[in-house]
Amino acid sequence: MSAALDLRAGLRSGAQALGLALSDEQVQRLLDYMALIQKWNKVYNLTALRDPADMLTHHLLDSLTAIAPLRRHTQGAQVKVLDVGSGGGLPGVVLAICMPELSVSCVDTVAKKAAFVQQVAASLKLSNLRGVHARVESLADPYSVICSRAFASLPDFVTWSRSALAEGGVWMAMKGKHPQDEIDALPVDVKVFHVEPLTVPDLDVERCMVWMRPQDD
């Protein structure tokens, strides 16, 4: 079996394990996205991983674990999502591919990484995706969901991105093991309303999703 077929099969079985029904077009876009990461990695320094099989599990499948929880939250609504410290677009690009109803902005302080996400949006014809070169603290557009993946501590994440959170909005942080210390250090007016364990297919690691919202006075 060729490497390309291997990756396609791995992506399909991983998505299936996560209970995701991806269309052929979505599978192709995810693989094309991974190919763009590989192609531009040397120029943009997007990931330390070089092996496509590692990229599949550690990046694509890891990001795909966010889809089902986010779908449960948005219930198919058209909402604006901000991916903070997105780097090469993880999980933002994956969210934009798998949930076309979302409008996803990937913000990063590194201009090259924001430019790469813009390039991905153009190459894969994702009209619901954009890369933004900025500090998240400077953003004031309201977003219903602000997400991050291995970006910063929870207190820093919510403090820095607070000005961009829409009324009634939530934070969705993808973390490794249950970050109790970070949860304990959250500002008093931020409430964790759900922590769910995530299982990444073919990866034996602890992952969880921490959902937070501003506490009503």
For residues 22-45, average pLDDT = 92
* pLDDT of the residue at 90: 96
For residues 178-200, average pLDDT = 97
Q: Which residue has the higher pLDDT, 107 or 5?
A: 107
* pLDDT of the residue at 140: 86
Distance CA 33, CA 128 (A): 15
Kindly report the number of other CB atoms within 10 A of residue 207's CB atom.
19
pLDDT above 70 covers a percentage of the chain that reads 99
> What is the tally of structural domains in the chain?
1
* pLDDT of the residue at 53: 85
* 3-state class (DSSP) for residue 4: helix
What rounded mean pLDDT belongs to the chain?
94
pLDDT above 90 covers a percentage of the chain that reads 83
Whole-structure pTM value = 0.96
Q: Are 81 and 102 in contact (CB under 8 A)?
A: yes
For residues 62-90, average pLDDT = 96
Residue 217 pLDDT > 60, yes or no?
no
Residue 212 pLDDT > 90, yes or no?
yes
Kindly report the number of other CB atoms within 10 A of residue 130's CB atom.
17
For residues 81-96, average pLDDT = 96
- Give residue 70's domain range: 3-214
**Residue labelled with tokens 């999502």:** 81
Name the band, by pLDDT with cuts 50, 70 and 90, for residue 2: low
Residue 68 pLDDT > 80, yes or no?
yes
Q: What is the DSSP string of 24-51?
A: HHHHHHHHHHHHHHHHHHHHH---S---
Name the band, by pLDDT with cuts 50, 70 and 90, for residue 85: very high
Kindly report the number of other CB atoms within 10 A of residue 66's CB atom.
25
For residues 18-22, average pLDDT = 96
Pairing relationship of beta strands 165-175 and 190-198 according to DSSP bridges: unpaired
CA gyration radius for the chain?
16
Instruction: Specify the CATH number for the domain of residue 12.
Output: 3.40.50.150
Q: What is the DSSP string of 145-208?
A: EEEEES-S-HHHHHHHHGGGEEEEEEEEEEESS--HHHHHTS-TTEEEEEEEEE--TT----EE
Residue 4 pLDDT > 80, yes or no?
no
